[in-house]
Structure 1
């Protein structure tokens, strides 16, 4: 076993970050070399990949999202099964980098959120057993990052605010770092900002509703709208879009967080039913649902961000950052340039995996990685639980 103090003395540290996000389309894994710590940390991506979930496991995962099918015995078993898959992802990304587990100091695993209850009655559950990951890889694991923030009265999200502050803050330009995963979340970084100056929250739906619509309308042949092609061919139903934008969550002031509990399969099924009632074809349906995601982001900025100090540019990451329809509609709505995170050296598909590597690295250094202004917690907290692993030879 390698003690925390020993890992903390290593600089740079090589850390694997792991996450299966709200889209539940695979396990993102990133091997990152991290030099320094805290706001002065510098990250270099050594390798990254998305480890696919076998079809049977993905179906079982979606059963875990439904309280009527997520029985205690099934959830317990699948927690361990998902730990095996996370371990496979970690070993795969290490091998892709041409390294061995002995070259790596630590793993930071977010796991897979199956249920999240926002504050004030906050609670959350992520699965993908960290002890299994540690045993299979031989490496120590930091996991379960959200609960310490929630125990301190925070929402447990968005945690990306810390990574965004480290990587994207600028002395002269005000930026919004927008992740478009299953759910959309933003970190507003005013020019020259520190931790007490930023604002971060979940903007609303990201790809989750779009993906569900595409899968249903193509009979499962497609699982997402590649490059926004369907939406670009379609025509937005403006009247229905206005109804969608009256969604209560969008009017709620930050700090706030949301997830599959609000915008999951039941919500998507209602949208598809309404599209049929309106006699919309597949492309028009996807266009309108995509416009809902894009315009919810634009309205969030207008209502909560721009009044705080203007906006010079938007940096987008996540699967939705590759959807041209979303990027173009957000840019048109804001009148500001929208750039992909790759322009700043961050792979948009791997951003979340990279930030859990950073959070694990800073956890062993004893540094707080929540941003109370973003989450609503009563103060800074060191996030994550430590699981030692037998050190690989």
Structure 2
């Protein structure tokens, strides 16, 4: 037997597996690194988050990512170079973190890396062509495995696409396995670059579902980066709080087929771009709005899209609680709008034992655990949630 396969077999049979989840979102703020201890799999999964850190990216690296992100035409050589570089860079950041924690790389069983999304192309968001759904994450797993010396599982979204789905959202798998509760209906709301949520019904029902609902932080982030030198996002909602929502522009932002189509669906910054905003401004004839008023309106756009989706999909199914995660939870203007419209106080995933900043990295660590020790859970016949094992394995030697 190849010793690498023997190592996988041994890891799969361990009572406790130490798995590091890596997540980098569309805001390019840094790499989330979660060291987790897993036992069991499927609905019997138990996880302990031992350490978590978010390692900030260097400014030049952020600019390199922006240059290839969600654009139909990019420098192909830079994409090729970044694919290899990111794998090495993640490895360096991971090893730095292990050193800070006083842990040897040899003590880690697996890395589960999401990679960096640079383009998301669901078929429903394109003009008719011969191609199916597609998505692209870079950050090569072989480079990460060689740099770290740790078996790496990566490129999770491709299996989801190959199974006939859109490659997102994948959070539904971890949400269902970790956060289902027989006594409480739960909405697991994530506000990252794009907003999505998973509905988990009580009483052990498998009638769960997940959907993207529209922009999260992406439009606000893009607008800040264009108009405020040296800033990448509206920290604490300071800019939006000094403006006023323009309801004419808000109506124009919602005047798109995406919001006339039903749920379940996915989307990305490829749709919700500055071109989308500029088109809404053009159609509404509002060319003299202040930056602050535009930011306030974009915050309302995100909040209203979330409220519309939750109201449409969840209302009438009984009382429920909302547990929030993602960068948008740090924007009090955004969360305040959601709470006011729903008449409900938002809770945090920390109330369920997982720090909200760490949640996405933990969920990819869970997918890594399932790839090695699980893969037996029947998720039922849910659109977008096939019962598959995801991830490609890279060995360090």
| TM-score, normalisation: structure 2 | 0.90
Question: Displacement, 1:218?
Answer: 2.3
* Equivalent in the alignment of 2:370: 362
Question: Displacement, 1:230?
Answer: 2.3
Q: 1:9-88 alignment to 2 at 5 Å?
A: 9-65=13-69, 67=71, 69-88=73-92
Question: Displacement, 1:164?
Answer: 1.1
Aligned residues: 386
* Equivalent in the alignment of 2:213: 203
Question: Displacement, 1:119?
Answer: 4.5
* Equivalent in the alignment of 1:116: 120
Q: What whole-Å deviation, never above 9, does each CA across 1:346-373 have from its counterpart, x for those lacking one? A: 2222211111111101110141679575
Q: Give 3-state SS (helix, strand or coil) of 1:266's partner.
A: helix
Q: Specify which of 377, 390, 395 is matched with residue 383 of structure 1.
A: 390
| TM-score, normalisation: structure 1 | 0.91
* Equivalent in the alignment of 1:129: 140
Which segment is superposed worse, 120-129 or 138-147? Answer: 120-129
Mapped to 2, the partners of 1:268 and 1:99 lie a distance apart of 47
Relative distance call for 1:68 and 1:249 in structure 2 (3 A) is closer
Structure 2 gaps of 5+ residues are 125-131
Mapped to 1, the partners of 2:55 and 2:383 lie a distance apart of 30
CA contact (8 A) 2:252 2:281 kept: no
Q: Specify which of 332, 335, 346 is matched with residue 340 of structure 2.
A: 332
Tell me whether 1:153 sits opposite 2:164 in the alignment.
yes
CA contact (8 A) 1:184 1:205 kept: yes
CA contact (8 A) 2:91 2:148 kept: yes
CA contact (8 A) 2:248 2:284 kept: no
Relative distance call for 1:268 and 1:346 in structure 2 (3 A) is farther
Q: What whole-Å deviation, never above 9, does each CA across 1:218-261 have from its counterpart, x for those lacking one? A: 223x3222222222232111221122123321232122111121
Tell me whether 1:314 sits opposite 2:322 in the alignment.
yes
Relative distance call for 1:357 and 1:275 in structure 2 (3 A) is farther
Higher relative contact order (CA closer than 8 Å, sequence separation 6+): 1
Q: Give 3-state SS (helix, strand or coil) of 2:207's partner.
A: coil
Mapped to 2, the partners of 1:179 and 1:305 lie a distance apart of 16
Which segment is superposed worse, 78-87 or 120-129? Answer: 120-129
Calculate the aligned-residue CA RMSD, in Å.
Answer: 2.3
Structure 1 gaps of 5+ residues are none
* Equivalent in the alignment of 2:224: 214
